[in-house]
Amino acid sequence: MIEPVGLRARKKVRTRDAIADAAISMFLARGFDQVSVSDIAAMAEVSKPTLFRYFATKEDLVLHRFADHHGEAARVVRDRRPDITPMRALHRHFRAGLDRFEPVTGLNDHPEVVAFHRLVFTTPSLAGRLMQYMLDDEGALAAALGPGIGARLQAAQVIAVQRVLARTNWQKIADGRTAQDVQLEAVADANQAFAQLCHGTDSS
């Protein structure tokens, strides 16, 4: 009997999620470098070849959680209304993320989210791979903004600003504050950052 395509797809999603959940729980408990791919495969009850069919590298087992946001800045610019400037659209989008306490903004105090970000920020191979994700996002955003060095410089600034804002929010929460307590500061920081992107830092 041939398995329906929809059922096969759902099984693949469940297998992928099971592998990733096993990996992240082990990484959080023992540290990224102390867990092997073999350990993860055993915990998820799959073979190593099966694991690598879903995740090409060990780092991808962690960073797939950012996949939904890959290329997000470029999509925001492309999908904006004609009367909204790119910077205003990006600012609004980041502010909306703060309002929803989205983990990608750093403004989320769920213990697993805080620990997950600590894992990423303090593991060199994960931080390096995350930087490559950001460079990819920068290239996509530059293409959405237009041709020339101006678009490339603006894209680099936007991605850097989002990184700094998210890391700042996370650090405050990692130091023991709640997301609710940090939110007003996070909004003010975002407003200041995007104002500088729009108008520059030279007040003379």
What's residue 156's pLDDT? Answer: 97
What's residue 105's pLDDT? Answer: 96
* 20, 24, 68, 146, 182 from 63: Cα distances, Å: 10, 10, 10, 28, 25
- Rounded CA-CA distance 167/160 in Å is 11
Q: Give the contacts of 15 (CB within 8 A, at least 6 positions apart).
A: 46, 50, 54
Specify the pTM: 0.85
- Rounded CA-CA distance 28/111 in Å is 11
Would you call 159 exposed, middle or buried from its count of C-beta atoms within 10 A (0-12, 13-18, 19+)?
buried
- Rounded CA-CA distance 104/65 in Å is 10
Phi–psi pair at 72, nearest 5 degrees: -65, -45
Are 78 and 140 within 8 A, CB to CB?
A: no
| CB neighbour burial string for 188-199, b if at least 16 within 10 angstroms, e if fewer | ebbeebbeebee
What's residue 203's pLDDT? Answer: 42
Would you call 22 exposed, middle or buried from its count of C-beta atoms within 10 A (0-12, 13-18, 19+)?
buried
pLDDT per residue as tens digits for the range 59-90: 999 988 887 788 999 999 999 999 999 999 99
CA angle 147, 151, 153 (to 5 degrees): 135
Q: Give the contacts of 157 (CB within 8 A, at least 6 positions apart).
A: 197
Along the 204 residues of the chain, how does pLDDT read in single tens digits?
455 667 888 888 899 999 999 999 999 999 999 999 999 999 999 999 999 999 999 999 998 888 778 899 999 999 999 999 999 999 999 999 999 999 999 999 999 999 999 999 999 999 998 898 999 999 999 999 999 999 999 999 999 999 999 999 999 999 999 999 999 999 999 999 999 998 864 443
